[in-house]
Amino acid sequence: MNTFSYAINADSEKWLAQMTSPEALLQSGVVLPSSTEPPHRVRAVFSLAPINARQLSRVTHVPFATLLPTCDGDVYTLNGAQIFDDSRNTANDESAPKYQVVVRGANHNFYNDHWSEDDDAEKYAPLYCQSGKIDTLRLSPDDQRRNGAFLMASFLRYFVGDEFQFAPYWKGQAPIPPAGCPAGESRCDERVVLTVHQPAAQRKLLQDFRNVDASAKNASGLSTAYERFKTTVQCRFLAIVAAPNAREASCTDPVSQLPVEALFNEGERYSPSSYDRKNLLIWSIADQAQLQWDTAGPLITIPTGDLSTQGFDTLSVRVAVLAPIGQEVEIALTDTQGRKAALKGSDFSDALYGIARKPDGAIPLVDAPDDAIYADTGTTRPLLNMVAVPLKAFALHGVDLAHIRQVTLRFPKAAGSVAVTDVQLQRMN
């Protein structure tokens, strides 16, 4: 059995090494599963801590989720984030949702009952990832399997088995149930950060950074403004280092549109043995605005003209917190009559604090004192995660959702470094 298994693996690795392009795959004669063509009908894809060396795993027109464990000592480059970021715009007529699922304190080993090799990387792991330490935030093997049983089973039972009792979670409208939390905990949303990218017909883009003039001419054809930031850089994409798909980052000044260096380096360049906390890293390669400030209250103003939100129920933005561990973002809508409602993102999401810490009324605006040690012992693997606010929350404050003039993102903390992208309306229901 061992010899047979090795032969299959050896043949698979040899075949994979030869598949360096879609054309090579076609010439190989191997038929991969398709969501539309016989003999297969793929209903959903759940990708667990994947690698993405050859970019062959972009999935379109079928629900797709990628799980990213932040304490993985093997796939610590979190290549699944590349898959999610690139696949958002693979098909302009995309008909299925895509999900990024960040599990704080997990590795990929413990999602298995048996794993023959250890990727614990204890020697170089950040303190919060080191098992057996009193101040670790790492999930135990049993607790991680509880978490995985809910995430994987609910996703497949919903999208493959049509079991709609799981829909609220995958629409970002319900917490993880106790069965998916560490033993003895009734709530654990600080452990898992869900990002939802709905099908094309269920979202309306307000601001991204895929074009050089994305700030000068946003999705509404108007100019987005940045106030009181020390440094602002917009990137069409970040680098992919691994061959054969190597590419350099493409970043510009949002005003002059001239090329500039990125503020933050790619997580793919991360080395556990030589981490320098002064070198800010981000694991999401999506188009993004990279922002730094040293005075409280900088803001991004995204004008929308006279925008109706009819047909949508959520305003979402993806934010990556690079420094310090936590950041607040105040998300405001202003209508054409000047009525404005500003809501705290942390009231609706745990995405704005970099480690698995339960809300205490102070974080993320104030970092927990006990967490200072984690900033000194290793990166928390920042990713662009979704902060989603129901539109009805703005309506309750008197904003006319049929006539929105602008969206504002304000950062009240005295200093910080963040990345932002995908400001959009979505229909989750």
User: Do 209 and 234 contact (CB within 8 A), yes or no?
Assistant: yes
- Residue 118 · residue 127 · CB < 8 Å: no
Chain centroid to CA 90:
17
Q: How confident is the model over 290-318, as pLDDT tens digits? A: 999 999 999 999 999 999 999 999 999 99
Confirm if 102 and 193 have CB atoms less than 8 A apart.
Answer: yes
Helix (H), strand (E) counts: the chain: 7, 18
The answer to whether the CB of 49 falls within 8 A of the CB of 80 is yes
**pLDDT score, position 415:** 96
Q: Are 289 and 254 in contact (CB under 8 A)?
A: yes
Which is it for the CA torsion 115, 116, 119, 121, positive or negative? positive
* pLDDT by 10s per residue, the chain, length 429: 344 334 445 555 566 666 666 677 666 665 555 555 666 677 899 999 988 755 545 678 889 999 999 998 888 889 899 889 988 988 889 999 999 999 999 998 889 887 766 665 666 777 788 877 777 888 999 999 999 999 999 999 999 999 999 999 999 999 999 999 999 999 999 999 999 999 999 999 999 999 999 999 999 999 999 999 999 999 999 988 876 668 899 999 999 999 999 999 998 888 877 777 778 999 999 999 999 999 999 999 999 999 999 999 999 999 999 999 999 999 999 999 999 999 999 999 999 999 899 989 999 999 988 888 776 666 789 999 999 999 999 999 999 999 999 999 999 999 999 999 999 999 998
Q: How many CB atoms lie within 10 A of CB 310?
A: 8
Whole-angstrom distance, CA of residue 371 vs CA of residue 119: 25
Q: Which residues contact 339 (CB under 8 A, 6 or more apart)?
A: 397, 398, 399, 400
Q: At residue 93, what is the residue type?
A: D
Give the pLDDT confidence score for residue 12 in this predicted structure. 57
State the pTM of this model: 0.90
pLDDT recorded at residue 274: 77
